[in-house]
Amino acid sequence: MKLADVIDLNRVLEVVCDECCQRTPLDPTFFVTRRGLAARIEDIGSTLVCPCCGSHDIELRSTAATTMLERA
Ligand SMILES: [Zn+2]
């Protein structure tokens, strides 16, 4: 999935950590300014670490914004 799709579908990004099981929501527009609309979230995920524990064992996913709100 590309960042353009994430924004078109009104979704948000989240880092899901296999190490500490934290889910950290991220604003996709932040990555658009750095990587452009054509960047793939799989490629961006490979450059990130978990903001909570610093593990590289993470997956970057797109999630419906409403799902995120229900969890809060
Ligand atoms: Zn973690």
Please tell me the distance between residue 7's alpha carbon and the centre of ligand 1 in angstroms: 25
The CA 33 to ligand 1 mean position distance, Å, reads 25
* Residuewise pLDDT in 10s, the chain (72 residues): 999 999 999 999 999 999 999 999 999 999 999 999 999 999 999 999 999 999 999 999 999 877 777 876
Residue 44: predicted pLDDT:
97
pLDDT score of 72: 67
CA of 26 to the centre of ligand 1 (A): 14
CA 45 to centroid of ligand 1, rounded, Å: 13
Q: What is the structure's pLDDT at 71? A: 74
Does pTM surpass 0.95? no
Contacts of 12 (CB under 8 A, 6+ apart): 6, 25, 26, 27, 28, 62, 63, 64, 65, 68
Ligand 1 center to 70 CA (angstroms): 22
Per-residue confidence (pLDDT) for residue 30, from 0 to 100: 94
Residue written as tokens 């979230």? 41
> What's the rounded Cα separation, in Å, for the pair 38 and 19?
29
